[in-house]
Amino acid sequence: MFTIVDKTVQLDFPLGHHLHCMIGQLPNHIRFDQEEYPEQISAQKWQRIRSVLDLVATGPGNLKKLHFLLFPEATLPVDYLDEALTIIDQQFCVNTVTMFGMEHMPLHAFTRLVEAYADDNQEMLDAIETDRNSGEIDELRVNWAAIVVKESDRRMRVFFQAKSHPFAGEESLDNHDLYHGKVFPLFHSEATGFNFMAMICFDYIYRTIYQSNISTVIQHANELFFRTRQHLDFLAILECNPKPEHTTFRDVINGFYGEYLASAPGVRETITVFCNSAEATRDSLPELSAQDTFGHSSVIIHKNHKMAPRKLDEFSVDTFGGLSVCRLRFGAETRLYYFNLPVFHEFDPRTTRMPLKVHSIFAPDTSGGWQRINFSPVDTDTV
């Protein structure tokens, strides 16, 4: 199982005001060996991500207030990571966190990349070295994420995280085994006490008879609360998930927020954001079922926020089938969703302000960029 390591970052988030997050629900072209035109596929994927980075860098409307930008699992081609980092370093505002789901790469190449950023990833390097000494694993694929933090003094730091357990489709009887990551960073913003971390899709639900991934997160967050009276504020799940509303994910959400067997003060006010690939991901897969929808990224917060159910044409608010949560559920199309992260303990409980608001939604335009779209209530007589 994995180990959570604490990382301190300098992010000067505003006190007494909510933060802002954008989900990049983009289509993902799933890669296969012996595919035709691999360079063209990589270039197309990069241009789609580049268009989002350019939008954020120009900051129309209130996008300059963006703090967290999320991309789905396995979307950014490895060859374009340096270009993405250059854009963030040169054009992004300070106090921003960008999470990229990265395409698979062999462990030996991943190791060299981590070594280039060893100052912030020493624990991962140590774990990889231990694993490499135990057998010939250099050709194993790594499903990983890059978490890029641009601190308040404009310093850019790059952290890596390898998926700990694969989805069944990522491994096979031939040479497609996946490396199992052992280290997950938990970030502490020293200036304002905001704590966050990321997980990659199946890592959120994985468990054995000995340990559960999500129980490890809850235990670590509880220890943080007992030690400092802080908690895990934000948990980002980067997905390329054909069944985002599968009962296994719902069950983990239920246990995470339900506190049925024990109190969990470390995660009670956690905001969980699921960033999934758009429905057009289906176009790159040879075999699909009607249940393979992709899309439907979502935001989960505790029921104490008391958000009334509502349905609009681009999203809805519900309880995910009666759970102890409020869920903001988005559609399946290619979209950028820009919304606030409610900081519950900083709100006056007597206020009538909505704790979670969608500020903007962007759809792709014909020129390869993005256009803001309107969203309105759905006519319940026609639903």
Estimate to the nearest angstrom the gap between the alpha carbon of 126 and the chain centroid: 25
The Cα–Cα gap between 260 and 254 comes to 9
The pLDDT of residue 383: 30
**Does 318 score more than 80 pLDDT?**
yes
How would you classify residue 205: left for phi > 0, otherwise alpha for psi between -120 and 50, otherwise beta?
alpha
The Cα–Cα gap between 341 and 351 comes to 17
Q: Structurally, what CATH architecture does the domain formed by 3-373 represent?
A: 4-Layer Sandwich (3.60)
State the chain's mean pLDDT as an integer. Answer: 91
Mean pLDDT of 302-315: 89
Mean pLDDT of 304-326: 91
The Cα–Cα gap between 314 and 311 comes to 8
The Cα–Cα gap between 225 and 168 comes to 35
pLDDT tier, 17 (very low <50, low <70, confident <90, very high otherwise)? confident
On whether the CB atoms of residues 231 and 263 are closer than 8 A, the answer is: no
**Does 339 score more than 50 pLDDT?**
yes
Domain layout of the chain by residue ranges: 3-373
Give percent above pLDDT 70 in the chain.
93
Query: Please, how many CA atoms are within 13 Å of residue 142, restricted to the half-sphere of its CB?
Result: 26
**Residues 92-136 pLDDT 10s:** 999 999 999 999 999 999 999 999 999 999 999 999 999 999 989
From 158, 85, 77, select the one nearest 116 (Cα to Cα). Answer: 158
Estimate to the nearest angstrom the gap between the alpha carbon of 68 and the chain centroid: 9
The pLDDT of residue 346: 53
At 304, phi and psi to the nearest 5?
Answer: -60, -20
The pLDDT of residue 192: 84
The reported pTM is: 0.94
